[in-house]
Amino acid sequence: MGAARDPDADAANVAGESPVHVASPTDAAGETTVTEEGTELERSIGLGGGVAIGVGTMIGAGIFVFPGLAAGRAGPAAAGSFAIGAVVALLVALPASELATAMPKSGGGYYFVSRALGALPGAVVGLGIWLGLVFATAFYLVGFGNYAAALLAEVGVPVGGVPVVVPLALVFGAFLTVLNLAGTENAATLQNYVVGLLLAILVFFLGYGSLDAVGAFGRSTAPEEFMPFGPTPVLTTAALVFTSYLGFAQVATVAGDIEDPGRNLPLAMVGSVLVVAVLYVGTIFVATSAFGSEALSRFGETAIVEVARALFGDAGALAVLVAGLLATVSSANASILSTSRAVFAVSKDALLPRYASRLNLAYGTPHVALAMAGGPVLVLVALGEVEVLAEVASFLHLVMYGLTCVALLAMRRDEPEWYDPDFRVPAHRLVAGVGAVASFALVAFMQPLSRYVGVAVMLAAAGWYKYYADDVRLKGVL
């Protein structure tokens, strides 16, 4: 492992420059001043916005796709599978929180890995996460199109089925890209409102469903046998549903936009995992109480809609369709924001052309990076078939999570002078070690095609570094 380096000097050294320090990184209010020379981002996202980004990215598959699939594999014990996934996510969130408070810069895992382990691992992570987020965002937008079409059909509007899905996804994807261009605060405000309404719907649904399950309104419907298929399916299902927890790391990706990062980053990352874990476990409990595991398995991806219909009638199904629409909106919005920050970070280090880190001084947003995020997303949305690419995104995230844990071990071993985090992980060797092993181990449970494509993306990123970024460093080209 390479020695940890001064993060302020590293980006300049990649391009063959002397280190550049912005004269006054914060103003009287504690916000970063936007300057064209320093290309710093305005810190306009508070704790609530940070939690909303994490929760908004994670709420989606865990509630609106996985209940039927997970219950079919593990029965009511699928709730335990989600709990195991939450524990693994926390094992990664804690090291990421420490690194983020020491290096509160845009780029998240890329920034940590590149500063702790060296430029080549950083390039593989940074370029891989950019592409992984592009694939994931396209998946969310196609999901938005599906939910929008289903919602229109539910209220009696003829939509013509699949042909309307892609146009709806394209239009909304373009809207979210423009919204993020107009200002991070605008995107964060939308995220807060969307996540707030989504949580209100889900809390009511889960609260009523839980009371119904324990007999508060009459006969108890709680499942009698918790683990009908034994313990092994609980573990394999945990690997399946772990993709539901990928969003917490996006908070670190936008660290350059977070106010008071020493306090807000750890709270946002850990808090978002805990909030979502409670919702996931509650959803499985309510779903397996309303229907048996076999029936939920037959419902597949629409299981939660049918659970709502059973509890509340057609009005309940309509409400959950609205919630699913909001979930895909929040996931896509947070992912577009995070993708642009990943591009911004790697371009500042000359792993991509440096013009990608230019800011729109009127709004304080990286407009070129946003175009490099939104443009490829819309291309993938137009293709429509992005399910495998979404799993590739999970593969690339898990690699980043594992290397993030290794990066913490490297930083604690070297303790460079500039490394002064506001939050330190207790028992860091145990936490980071188990987090790294768990992250890499979960990759083994993915389908072979996704692993092959993920490895190909990593090799392509390493090749790009060798033949472009390394050449840029040697020639001192901006």
What pLDDT was estimated at residue 22?
34
Instruction: Report the pLDDT averaged over residues 389-407.
Output: 83
Which structural domains are found in the chain, ordered by start?
45-470 (1.20.1740.10)
pLDDT confidence bin for 50, thresholds 50/70/90: confident
| Per-residue pLDDT tens digits for 168-205 | 777 777 777 777 666 555 556 666 677 778 778 888 88
The three state secondary structure string of the chain is CCCCCCHHHHHHHHCCCCCCCCCCCECCCCCECCCCCCCCCCCCECHHHHHHHHHHHHCCHHHHCHHHHHHHHHHHHHHHHHHHHHHHHHHHHHHHHHHHHHCCCCCCHHHHHHHHHCHHHHHHHHHHHHHHHHHHHHHHHHHHHHHHHHHHHHCCCCCCCHHHHHHHHHHHHHHHHHHHHCCHHHHHHHHHHHHHHHHHHHHHHHHHHHHHHCCCCCCCCCCCCCCCCCCHHHHHHHHHHHHHHHHHHHHHHCHHHECCHHHHHHHHHHHHHHHHHHHHHHHHHHHHHHCCHHHHHHHHHHHHHHHHHHHHCHHHHHHHHHHHHHHHHHHHHHHHHHHHHHHHHHHHCCCCCHHHHCCECCCCECHHHHHHHHHHHHHHHHHCCCHHHHHHHHHHHHHHHHHHHHHHHHHHHHCCCCCCCCCCCCCHHHHHHHHHHHHHHHHCCCCHHHHHHHHHHHHHHHHHHHHHHHHHHHHCCC
Please compute, for residue 138, the number of CA atoms within 13 A of its CA located in the half-sphere on the CB side.
Answer: 27
pLDDT at 253: 65
- The whole-angstrom separation of Cα 240 and Cα 250 is 20
Rounded Cα–Cα distance for residues 431 and 93 (Å) = 10
Q: Which range scores top for mean pLDDT: 30-39, 91-100, 171-180, 247-256?
A: 91-100
pLDDT in tens, 294-334: 888 887 767 888 888 888 888 888 888 888 887 777 777 77
- Higher pLDDT, residue 11 or 233: 233
* Average pLDDT of the chain to the nearest whole number: 75
The percentage of residues in the chain with a pLDDT greater than 90, rounded to a whole number, is: 6
pLDDT at residue 27 is higher than 50: no
Asked if residue 244 lies in contact with residue 85, where contact means CB atoms within 8 angstroms, the answer is yes
How much is the pLDDT for 190?
Answer: 66
pLDDT for 20 equals 33
Is 472's pLDDT higher than 60? Answer: no
Q: Which residue has the higher pLDDT, 417 or 250?
A: 417
As a whole number of angstroms, the distance between CA 2 and CA 403 comes to 13
Q: How far apart are CA 138 and CA 161, in angstroms?
A: 19
Within 8 A by CB and 6+ apart from 177, the residues are: 336, 370, 371, 373, 374, 377, 378
Band (474; pLDDT cuts 50, 70, 90)? very low
Confidence bin at 349 (pLDDT 50/70/90): confident
- Return the top range by mean pLDDT from 21-35, 64-78, 178-192: 64-78
Maximum alpha-carbon separation in the chain: 76
pLDDT digits (tens, 9 = 90+) for 99-158: 888 887 766 778 888 888 888 888 888 888 777 777 777 877 877 787 788 788 877 777
pLDDT bin (cut points 50, 70, 90) of residue 32 is: very low
Distance, in Å, from the CA atom of 358 to the CA atom of 371, rounded to the nearest integer, reads 12
Tokens of 155: 């209220």
Q: In this structure, what token pair is assigned to residue 67?
A: 């209940």
For residue 10, pLDDT over 60 is answered with: no
The candidate with the shortest Cα–Cα distance to 342, out of 160, 134, 115, is 134
**Is the pLDDT reported for residue 61 higher than 70?**
no
**CB–CB of 194/329 below 8 Å?**
yes
Beta bridge partners of 167: none
* Greater pLDDT, 223 or 68: 68
Asked whether the whole model's pTM tops 0.85, one would answer no
Is the CB of residue 60 less than 8 Å from the CB of residue 385? no
